[in-house]
Amino acid sequence: MNEIDLRHLRRCVELAAEAVEAGDDPFGSVLVGADGTVLGEGRNHETTSGDPTRHPEIDLARWAATHLPAEERAAATLYTSGEHCPMCSAAHGWAGLGRIVYATSAAQLTAWRAELGAPASPVRPIPIQEVVPGVQVEGPVPELEKDVRALVRRSFPK
């Protein structure tokens, strides 16, 4: 975890804030190539699209699968404001993407939702490494917890 990682994660939190402003869930992600180039950005679109699978992590994995050669996918890093759900972890693994860096964990999100009285997720929050054991994962990042938690709080109730 270095300053560059933190800069990309802060951009993820900005994208998560944009999602909340639009009425979507508080998640944002950035895909970065081996040379540091930002290859793509995304935010949650669950509510505005009507499609509950419109998570930024799977959107970026599918984009990468069709636009980048396998070596570039393996060398890319996916930054995200909240740890992948199992659907997005699986897409990341199938797309052959590289390192994942997340700001806050699925376990933190589960606890925060429970505190807010939000319904439990319909999908079990399994850690990324249990879905894709070969991927390098870093997180959570304590200095970003307060900001992400505030976005989660703002996004409930819908």
Is residue 9 involved in binding Zn ion (CB under 5 A)? no
Q: What is the rounded distance in angstroms from the CA atom of residue 20 to the CA atom of residue 2?
A: 27
Residue 92 makes contact with Zn ion by CB under 5 A: no
Instruction: Give the chain's end-to-end CA distance (angstroms, integer).
Output: 34
Q: What is each CA distance from 38 to 2, 14, 34, 85, 157, in whole angstroms?
A: 16, 15, 10, 22, 33
Shortest separation between residue 57's beta carbon and Zn ion, angstroms: 5
- Is residue 88 a contact residue for Zn ion (CB under 5 A)? yes
Instruction: Identify the residue whose tokens are 């939000």.
Output: 118
Amino acid identity for residue 119 in this structure: P
Cβ closer to Zn ion: 7 or 62? Answer: 62
> Mask of contacts with Zn ion, 31-60, x by CB under 5 A?
------------------------x-----
Nearest distance, CB of residue 123 and Zn ion, angstroms: 8
Give me the phi and psi of 119, to 5 degrees please.
-65, 150
What is the smallest separation between the CB atom of 83 and Zn ion, expressed in angstroms? 9
Residue 85 interacting with Zn ion (CB under 5 A): yes
Chain contacts with Zn ion (rule: CB under 5 A): 55, 85, 87-88
